[in-house]
Each structure stands twice: as structure tokens, then as C-alpha cells.
Amino acid sequence: MTSRENRGRLLISCPDRIGIVGAIGQFLASCGANIAESAQHSTAPWGGDFFMRVEFELEDLPNREEALCRDFAKLAEEYQMRWRYHPARKKKRMAIFVSRELHCLQELLWEWQDGLLDADLKMVISNHEDARPLVESLGIPYYYIPVTPENKPEAEAQALALMDGQIDVIVLARYMQILSPSFLEHYPQRIINIHHSFLPAFIGRNPYQRAYQRGVKLIGATAHYVTEELDEGPIIEQDVMRVDHRFTALDLRIAGRQVERAVLSRAVKWHLEDKVIVHGNKTIVFA
């Protein structure tokens, strides 16, 4: 089997105490696994919270996963661990939602084509037809679901039906709709949004016009998990670009798009590669 087929990932969080790293290493060694990557973080040396990401190689892993997880659960109970396991060979199945602005969608599609986005891209869903030629030219299913205030529950139900049992993560690549709490319940901590602002600044509509009026010197973007609180979910990635008084509102918008593309791409990659642990309304990112 290839290395990818024999590679697994563990994401772990628990109360910090002496011996956690050693116990995990000893467990994997006893299984015959070799640690390929390891990263950890503690919020405080004593009495804090501990976070760890381990990527390991184990011969014949697909046939040993069930026993490995069963045995690890015993160790996890001893250390009060919250944990999840994901085999590297299984790409996460992804859906992209988009409206009329296509720059973030284009970035994701380019990286997916180049093999830089470790995802099984199942579909693109949009409330407009603008992206259809681009998406279908790549052989990706495209679904047009118009959304109005009157039909929003039905539109969301249609999208959920299309994704049922097929999707692991949703990316909102400038999808200009607010998803209902009932929709979000189906994909907790698995919907990633790009916000065209360096949160918490300029939340809501027309951020670039308001940034221009405020005379900002930095323009930015924020990728975060979607929660019921608008634009307040756990932040995965942020970045900024320096601007000055010569930038018009349009210039700011163009600069912002460049930042949005890069920020969303990085956040999606880290999620796909199991590098993000959500802790309250924050994230630990082992990038």
C-alpha cells in the first residue's frame, strides 16, 4: 500500500497533565506505528488545556483502524481526551456554495485542479447561474437553487437533500445568504465562510465602502466556521494588505478580493488536512 493509505491522523484535546505526549507516543509505538508529524500546544503548563495533532504511518492501517480506535479510546478515557481520528487516504467530500462573485470559487477550483486541495469536490450550489459555465467545464455538478425571502426554507431543504450522505464540509465562497440555524445543525463546525473584512471590523454589508469612508490603512479578510451568531464563529485564518489614501472604494474592493482568495484557500486546506481544533469560540491551528 502507498504511504497515504497507511497514514492516519489523530486530533486530541484534554486537560493538561504530565505524561500525555509520552502516553500517546508509547501507544502508537506499541501498535507498530511510526510518528511522521507531531504538534502540540498547552494554554498553561499547569491547569491548562492541551491540544495535539499526530500524523503517523502504520502498516496495513485500513485493516487495523477499528482495533486501533477501540484501544485508543481506553487511553483517551484515562486522560479525559476529546479526540477524533481520520485516515489520510479518505479525502473529505466538499460542496462549494457561491453567488455572483466568483473570485474565491476560481481560486479553489484552480487549486483543486492542481492537486493542491485535498478534497473530493462533489458539487457547487448557487443561487445564481453565473458560475455554471466555469464549473461544468470542469465536469463538476452544478445546482442552481434560487433563494428569496419567501422560499428560503424550501431552498435550504433542497440543498440539504442534494448533499445528504455525500458531503463532509461546505465552503461558502462568497455565498451571499445567511443560513438558518436548522441548516447549520446538519454541519456543525463543518461550514467555512470567507468574510470580506478583518473581523470584528466592518461586520455586515458594504464593508469596503465603509472602510473607505473610515480611511483605513489596512484591508483584510477572515475565514471562520459558521455559527448562528452572524460572522462570530471560530476564526480559522486572517490576513491583511496595507493600503493608503490613494485607494478608492473600488481599489479597496480589488485588494480585498486578493486577500479573500488567499485566506479562504488556506483555511479550507487546513480543515481538509485535519489541522484545526475548535476550542470554544477559538481555534487551534497546527499549520
pLDDT digits (tens, 9 = 90+) for 113-162: 999 999 999 999 999 999 999 999 999 999 999 999 999 999 999 999 99
And the C-alpha cell for 22? 509520552
Give the CATH number for residue 68. Answer: 3.30.70.260
Q: What is the pLDDT of residue 198?
A: 65
Final residue of a domain: which of 87, 119, 134? 87
Angstrom distance (rounded) from CA 219 to CA 197: 7
Residue 1 confidence (pLDDT) above 50: no
Residues paired with residue 95 on neighbouring β-strands, in sequence order: 123, 170
Residue listed under C-alpha cell 501507544? 27
Average pLDDT over residues 218-242: 93
- Predicted confidence at residue 29, as pLDDT, reads 98
With a cut of 70, say whether residue 191 has pLDDT above it: yes
For the cut 80, the answer to whether the pLDDT of residue 201 exceeds it is: no
| Residue among 287, 279, 202 at smallest CA distance from 16 | 279
Which is higher by pLDDT, 163 or 201?
Answer: 163
Torsion over CA: 279, 281, 282, 284 (sign) = positive
Indicate the residue among 87, 105, 137 that finishes a domain: 87
Mean pLDDT of the chain: 94
The answer to whether residues 270 and 246 belong to one domain is yes
29 CA to centre of own chain: 30
Q: Residues 50, 101: one domain? A: no
Contacts of 182 (CB under 8 A, 6+ apart): 156
How far CA 217 is from CA of 201, 205, 208, 213, 223, in Å, comes to: 13, 20, 12, 12, 20
Non-local (6+) Cβ contacts of 216 within 8 A are 243, 252
Instruction: Indicate whether 157 and 59 sit together in one domain.
Output: no
Q: What is the pLDDT of residue 150?
A: 94
Q: Are residues 46 and 103 in the same domain?
A: no
- 246 pLDDT more than 70: yes
19 has a pLDDT exceeding 80: yes
The more confident residue out of 47 and 223 is: 223
Structural domain ending residue among the three candidates 23, 54, 87: 87
* Phi, psi (rounded to 5 degrees) for 101: -85, 120
Task: Catalogue the active-site residues.
Answer: 231
Instruction: Look at residue 3 in the predicted model and tell me its pLDDT.
Output: 72
- Domain-located, residue 58: yes
Q: Which domain holds residue 255?
A: 92-285
Q: Can you give the pTM of this predicted structure?
A: 0.93
Asked if 81 and 13 touch (Cβ cutoff 8 Å), the reply is yes
- 158 and 235 in a single domain? The answer is yes
pLDDT of amino acid 69: 98
Quote the pLDDT of residue 213. 84
Give the contacts of 114 (CB within 8 A, at least 6 positions apart). Answer: none
**Residue 2 scores a pLDDT above 60:** no
Total domain count, the chain: 2
